[in-house]
Amino acid sequence: MAPPTELLDELVGEVLLRLPPDEPEHLFRAAIVCKSWLRIVCDPAFCRRYRDFHGAPPLLGLLHMLQVLQGGPAHRFASTTSMPDFPYPGSDRDGEHPTTLDCRHGRVLVHMVQDRSLVFVVSDPLTGDRHVVPALDFDSLIWTAAVFCVADGCQHLDCQGGPFRVAFLATGSADRVVKARVYSSVTGAWSAPVCLDDG
């Protein structure tokens, strides 16, 4: 027979499992009730069961960039839940206008131009964690970038805090050749440029 505390934790887990996923703050509030509830909510097995029980994760909000005629675009996180606003890195500094490039695997890739260099920031809107990618000095005419998770065996449903890469593609202003570079959060460095032109 299971000890009473184990049985109680199992029953609490079953109740917490049924909290609606479209309001993620309910789980957060449950986690701060007491240490045993925090242990239940943070248990990877509970997270997997919660995801299996409710299916696909909910849409928490939209990253919205409003184009304006003068000055930099105004950015904001339009929440579809009662989750707090997601602050853009660098948005409080004069002359720096962050632009959202990509949102994938629980991360947001934002870029800014600082001292005529491209600066990328990878942010987690749920935890507020930010990773500043080293500035990229690259002669480019047209460019784009994307962020993606590279954790082994990850199903990309709850990969916060794991390793990631940023892929950067650009056409040089001098040679008009498409080149690619990849940043790894594991090594903390950009790869050497690779030419994607076939001849």
pLDDT (tens digit per residue) in 133-147: 988 776 677 888 999
Say how many residues make up the chain.
199
Matching residue, tokens 């990849």: 182
Tokens of 48: 């997997």
47 vs 157, which has greater pLDDT?
A: 47
pLDDT at 56: 64
Tell whether the model's pLDDT for residue 197 goes beyond 70: no
Of 88-92, 110-114, 184-188, the range with the lowest mean pLDDT is 88-92
Mean pLDDT of the residues in the chain = 75
pLDDT of residue 94: 47
Asked if pLDDT for residue 125 goes beyond 50, the answer is yes
pLDDT confidence band for 105 (50 / 70 / 90) = confident
CA distance to 48, 92, 149, per residue, from 156 (Å): 12, 31, 7
State the average pLDDT over residues 57-68. 58
Q: What's the rounded Cα separation, in Å, for the pair 143 and 39?
A: 44
Three-state secondary structure call for residue 180: strand
Confidence of residue 187 (pLDDT cuts 50, 70, 90): very high
Helix 35-42 with 4-17: angle, nearest 10 deg: 60
Q: What is the mean pLDDT of residues 160-168?
A: 87
The whole-number average pLDDT for the span 161-182 is: 85
What pLDDT is recorded for position 42?
80
Please determine, for residue 93, whether its predicted confidence score (pLDDT) is greater than 60: no
Mean pLDDT across 6-26: 81
Listed by start position, the domains of the chain span: 4-54, 80-195
pLDDT computed for residue 111 by the predictor: 81
